[in-house]
Chain A
Amino acid sequence: MKKKITFICNDENISIEINPALTVLDYLRDNKRLTGTKEGCREGDCGACTVIVGRLNGKRIVYQTINSCLLPIADLNGKHLVSIEGLNLDGLNIIQEQMVDEGGTQCGFCTPGFIISMTNYFINHSEYDPEKAALALDGNICRCTGYLGIRRAIQNVIAYLNSIPRKNSNQTDFLMKAQILPEYFSSIPKRLKTLSKEIQYDKPTEKKIKPRYVVSGGTDLFVQKWESLLESNVRFISGNEALKEIRKEGNTIFIGGAVTISEFENSPLIRKHLPEVTKYLNLFGSQPIRNRATIAGNIVNASPIADMTNILLALSANLNLTTNKKKRSLPLNEFYLGYKTLNKKEKEIIENISIEIPSKEHYFNYERISRRTYLDIASVNTAALIKSDGKRIIDISISAGGVAPIPLYLKSTCNFFKGKEINSDLVDEAAHYALSEISPISDARGSAEYKSLLLKQLLKAHFIKLFPQLIEVEVLV
């Protein structure tokens, strides 16, 4: 089943009939023979295949890094794909030059991926912070350099960019002037606009074929089912603009079913009303994964340890599900029936997720422990939203991940807490009490015993962080 896909690959307009589930990685390496983009793991864990994808947003192009191994080519429709080859000038640009001079490259296999991620950081920021720039590389694994040369390269590029006088030009123009981006970048907005007129979107009649998979971000599905996706009838919803909306109605925020973690993190609405939540999002996967993975996907995937799901459980989120005909809504904590078993009909998709905006009396905290701080799945995680007058717990909701077959809402523990005065003894008691609610198993991320111990510690950590004046740490350690 081929489909016409129209996009720009580096400086070249492309319009081809192609299997829409083909990964962009294979397209680049096999079809285009652009081998600067490397295949390291095909699971979105190494970053060697990172590319930049730009999409038109009004007059501007919004560029993002994506793992090309997890990106179906169908998703490129109307977009600008940039591989390492598309960044090359006549000589080396300053990023490339600094990567060589500071020892940011050794064997070099991961290097194009790093340069792509660094370039994208500079495209998206006009004020630079070396630590945040490094964080933009959290999805790129290097096995040779030990990363310190890469960190120095970042610092030198920042120093260079800060030394260039800038007028009111936009960042892309500025980077062209700074000889980081090739000239053709200036033509992209216009070309994409022209291109978008040619694009044929799915006609409604085609939808009669029952899709085997509904794919949103696909960051998990493409890892597990890449081969079968190539052959099946797949419905991609990630480009569905109607599902991309984040809006506020009264005191409720609605997050569309195709909103990615990055879109959520960077949404002004979310930053304004849920600032405490956005703080933790850089612990979710890596930058390219966050750019691709959706919140609804994280929920439907039903991993007991999912970061977003556990955060949303504590926020008492509601799911609004829809088929073409029927709509219904239910609390997230009633969505999970068992391990990877959902209270969801086959045809239903998540139209949006709704959250009540916490008041000033609400305190939010998220804790997770993993071997590797970034780019790792937690052993145990927990989120807490506590309504308090500063002394007593008026209301509380706590989630716990990795300690049961499903993302767990600690119902009894919450009831135990309610109405009580916050002090070290209460927290200690409640942390023990929580163990009666969980059923962890021993696996690669730790023994059952350890996970119980860890959950106790993390529950205490909520209170140490949120109510330091009421807690004596020594009692809890």
Chain B
Amino acid sequence: MTRKIVKSKYHFEPDLIETIGEVSIEEIKPWGSNDELKIIGKPTSRIDGAVKVSGEAVYTSDVILPNMVYAKILRSPHPNAQIKNIDTSEAEQLEGVLYILTYKNAPEIGWYYNTSYLFDKQVRYQGDEVACVAAESEKIAEDALHLIKVEYENLPFVTDAVEALKDNSPKVHEWGNLPRGNPDKYKRGDVEKGLKEADLVIEDTFTTQVVVHNTTEPHCSVAKWEGSKLTVWDSTQAIFNVRDSIAASLQIPASSVRVIKKYMGGGFGSKLEAGKYSVIAALISRKIKRPVKIVLDRREENLAVGNRPNSIQTLKAGVKKDGTLTALSHHSIGSIGAYPDGAGCSWPLRTIYKCENVSTEEYSVFTNTGKSRAYRAPGHVQGTFGLESLIDIAAEKIGMDPLEFRLKNYTDKDQVYNIPYTSKKLKDAYEKGANAIGWHRRNKVPGSSNGILKRGIGMATQIWWGGGGPPAYATLKLNRDGSVNVMAGTQDLGTGTYTFIAQVASEVLQLPIEKISITIGDTETCPYCGASGGSTTAASVAPAVRDAAEQMKAKLISGAAAILETSEEKLIYAEGIISVKNDPSKKITIHEIISKMRERVLVTTGARSANPEGYMINTFGAQFAEVEVDTFTGKVRVIKIVAAHDIGRVLNPKTLENQFHGGIIQGLGYALMEERKVDSNTGKVLTANLYSYLIPTIMDTPEIEVIIVSEGDSMISSVGAKGVGEPAIIPTAAAIAHAVYNAIGVRIKSLPITPDKVLNALTLIKR
């Protein structure tokens, strides 16, 4: 018995999850530094790269099946309305239309924590599902949507979170505009007392905008029945979530549902939950007995499949002249859209800096807009902009270097749970990052440089979880020829999951990476792994793969001992050959062992070990930005970003750098251009396409330098990796904002920092 069921804790996004999980208790010695390893930590090209650059990779939206039909969803044009009637008769007459699903004929399937239905008579945002048409072609389905007559009774609506909190505001749900009726509160120490002890109290308000994931591949699903068995190809970050949601919605056994996701065009959190479209495809497919494909279009992507909530954050800090923080408080309001979600963003303030007196109050508010979803470091991106802006102001007010101020309030333990970290190398990140950007070059007096083009340097800190945890499993199959299949129920969003799994197996078994084939994203053939989100995938899955590979190695040694008639201790394993320590002429190959055992495939299944009790696992980092501001037009250009982070062991410098670059550019988009705009008069989204919703292009890229200050964290697991995806984006916008301030001497307290805000701010100070 190499496994045990234990209590284990881990963080997925801001949720502390306590599970009773099955873990490996195999004592595997953690790897030492990457210098001692051959494959891990070495630049390895993405193993799924070749099929992507040749166009061979089949994404969910590329799946074409025999006899397949297409479905399109009719969505509410109104922000809040009661459907009085739907007349589909004319649409049904259109040649090629096969089936139409509305609230009238759809089963009553509860959705959004049972606050609504798959098809509800009440629609609560522009984009809420009203009907779905399946037809012989996408074009016919699209045409049929225009023929469906819906009688709406329009109701008062609210699109702004602050408005929605007022007593006289229209209610998105009958019970009110706060999902639980109250804000979420956190408190430690006594803030009032802390503020009294302070030499200076600073209070300010910062706002951030709603942004949309806009993954390149839209959300999509293809459903196909064979008898009572359903196969769903889904563009998802969580195959098992989708499987269980579909099974529960259709009231069929989970064993009858197989969810497959091979390649997907990005997720960033928007594909963590099962989509209505997946269940709808399955329902219609069952009815018409043909495979059904639903691919959302770009407009639907911008209306209906998630976003990062906005925030209005009011922060207060008590500071002593020597820089000590005596109190911190945070009040935030954010729109979660029409259905339950969270818009809280106070975690960075609770954890980054040493402070005894802290209080936070988070209002996650319903509005008649598209529901928010986790988006790459949910809460932390907004919260870090607010907190770090306040810290920057505080440092300036007491005349201290912003970096020194941060070091002054450094903490070695997690203050929410009052426990130490497994590792924290933030100080190294500060030091190395500052050196790389040339921190001394910043304007000592913000805005003091001459000329129309002004340069500035700023920085911000990052904290996130990302330690991962059980349950996560991997099954390893070793073939006679020394080739390996690894199966794990995880997903690769483009992050590099395929590649690190192959690297781990290759490292342990000392077999060439080309001989290792990976199957992930299939609920039927792969053992369970969690959703790919929260920067948990590598930290959770890599140790399970290592466990499986180590077991395989042990199995081979055991087999060799039996065949060579010696004891296991006398044998050594090298590159697929097992030999006797003192007599190298006595050796045996994988092929010989497996053949003698009369098997063709040897199988092991590994599991993730438990996280250590009494410790907090976090990632840390600091990013430094240099910008140039055209004070004549207000345009900001980012020149350089330095990202210095503690993320545990680097598994693959190539995919790691990719993740950082991508996160930073998304952060740059958040800082300067991306913004979902809703017209408060009509409740409609003004930016539901990619020419008004702006994503950075190749022409917007600054120089980026990534510095990793950490090695493997042996307290977490035998692999010692933490996550990367989210740390990358968290401090970028704040660092850019502070650099803009350093350049022009006016602080922009509202994201995105667009030319109009900068120009208006500069004009105001001139007056």
**B53 lies within 8 A of chain A by Cβ:** yes
Q: Which of A100, A109, A379 contacts B49 (CB 8 A)?
A: A100
Given A146-B662, A444-B677, A473-B452, A140:B698 Cβ within 8 A: yes
Residues of B within 8 A of A146 (CB): 658, 660-666, 701, 704
Q: Which of B54, B495, B700 contacts A96 (CB 8 A)?
A: B54
Q: Is the CB of A144 within 8 A of B61?
A: no
Residues of B within 8 A of A101 (CB): 45, 49
Residues of B within 8 A of A103 (CB): 46, 654-655, 657-658, 661
Report Cα–Cα, A461/B634, bound state, in Å. 13
Q: Which of A97, A109, A373 contacts B265 (CB 8 A)?
A: A109
Q: Is the CB of B216 within 8 A of A141?
A: yes
Residues of A within 8 A of B660 (CB): 146
* Chain B interface size, under 10 / 10 to 19 / 20 to 34 / 35 or more: 35 or more
**B276 lies within 8 A of chain A by Cβ:** no
Instruction: State the Cβ distance, A87 to closest chain B Cβ, in Å.
Output: 8
Q: Which of A92, A150, A372 contacts B50 (CB 8 A)?
A: A92
Q: Is the CB of A379 within 8 A of B756?
A: yes
Residues of A within 8 A of B666 (CB): 143, 146
Residues of B within 8 A of A111 (CB): 52-53
Q: Is the CB of B657 within 8 A of A444?
A: no
Most A Cβ at <10 Å: residue of B55, B655, B673, B690: B55
Closest 3 CB pairs of A and B: A36-B55, A107-B494, A109-B265
A and B contact pairs by CB, cutoff 8 A, 22 listed: A30-B137, A34-B55, A38-B217, A40-B265, A40-B298, A43-B298, A46-B298, A99-B53, A100-B45, A105-B46, A108-B48, A110-B265, A111-B52, A142-B216, A144-B494, A148-B701, A150-B698, A369-B635, A372-B694, A372-B697, A375-B697, A379-B756
Report Cα–Cα, A371/B675, bound state, in Å. 11
- Mark contacts of B659-680 with chain A using CB atoms, 8 A cut-off: 1 yes-contact digit, 0 otherwise: 0111111100000110001000
Chain A interfacial positions (CB closer than 8 Å to B): 29-30, 33-43, 45-46, 48, 83-85, 88, 92, 95-97, 99-101, 103, 105-112, 115, 134-135, 137-138, 140-151, 227, 230, 369, 371-377, 379, 443-444, 446-447, 449-450, 453-454, 457-458, 460-461, 464, 473, 477
Q: Which positions 2-52 of chain B face chain A at CB distance < 8 Å?
A: 45-46, 48-52
Report Cα–Cα, A249/B672, bound state, in Å. 47
Residues of A within 8 A of B663 (CB): 146
Closest to A146 in B: B661
Residues of B within 8 A of A377 (CB): 691
- Mark contacts of B318-331 with chain A using CB atoms, 8 A cut-off: 1 yes-contact digit, 0 otherwise: 00000000000000
Q: Is the CB of A96 within 8 A of B53?
A: yes
Q: Which of B54, B698, B752, B763 contacts A147 (CB 8 A)?
A: B698
Q: Is the CB of B298 within 8 A of A149?
A: no
Closest to B703 in A: A148
Q: Is the CB of B64 within 8 A of A33?
A: yes
Instruction: State the Cβ distance, B147 to closest chain A Cβ, in Å.
Output: 13
Q: Is the CB of B216 within 8 A of A143?
A: yes
Report Cα–Cα, A140/B672, bound state, in Å. 19
**B633 lies within 8 A of chain A by Cβ:** yes
Most B Cβ at <10 Å: residue of A37, A45, A100, A444: A100
Instruction: State the Cβ distance, A218 to closest chain B Cβ, in Å.
Output: 16
Instruction: State the Cβ distance, B503 to closest chain A Cβ, in Å.
Output: 15
Instruction: State the Cβ distance, B534 to closest chain A Cβ, in Å.
Output: 18
Report Cα–Cα, A219/B686, bound state, in Å. 20
Residues of B within 8 A of A37 (CB): 55
Residues of A within 8 A of B45 (CB): 100-101
Q: Is the CB of A149 within 8 A of B54?
A: no
Given A42-B298, A454-B633, A108:B215 Cβ within 8 A: no
Given A43-B298, A46-B216, A38:B493 Cβ within 8 A: no
Q: Is the CB of B53 within 8 A of A230?
A: no
Q: Is the CB of B631 within 8 A of A477?
A: yes
Closest to A83 in B: B55
Closest to A99 in B: B53
Report Cα–Cα, A259/B494, bound state, in Å. 40
Instruction: State the Cβ distance, B66 to closest chain A Cβ, in Å.
Output: 12
Q: Which positions 709-767 of chain B face chain A at CB distance < 8 Å?
A: 752, 754-756, 759-760, 763
Q: Is the CB of A148 within 8 A of B661?
A: yes
Closest to A372 in B: B694
Q: Is the CB of A457 within 8 A of B633?
A: yes
Report Cα–Cα, A99/B689, bound state, in Å. 28
Q: Is the CB of A447 within 8 A of B756?
A: yes
**B117 lies within 8 A of chain A by Cβ:** no
**B59 lies within 8 A of chain A by Cβ:** yes
**B397 lies within 8 A of chain A by Cβ:** no
Residues of B within 8 A of A227 (CB): 139, 142-143
Residues of B within 8 A of A95 (CB): 53
Report Cα–Cα, A454/B759, bound state, in Å. 8
Residues of A within 8 A of B631 (CB): 477
Residues of A within 8 A of B682 (CB): none
Given A146-B662, A444-B692, A84:B54 Cβ within 8 A: yes
- Mark contacts of B76-90 with chain A using CB atoms, 8 A cut-off: 1 yes-contact digit, 0 otherwise: 000000000000000
Report Cα–Cα, A377/B690, bound state, in Å. 11
**B169 lies within 8 A of chain A by Cβ:** no
Q: Is the CB of B672 within 8 A of A100?
A: no
Report Cα–Cα, A110/B458, bound state, in Å. 32
Closest to B48 in A: A108
Residues of A within 8 A of B752 (CB): 371
Q: Is the CB of A373 within 8 A of B662?
A: no
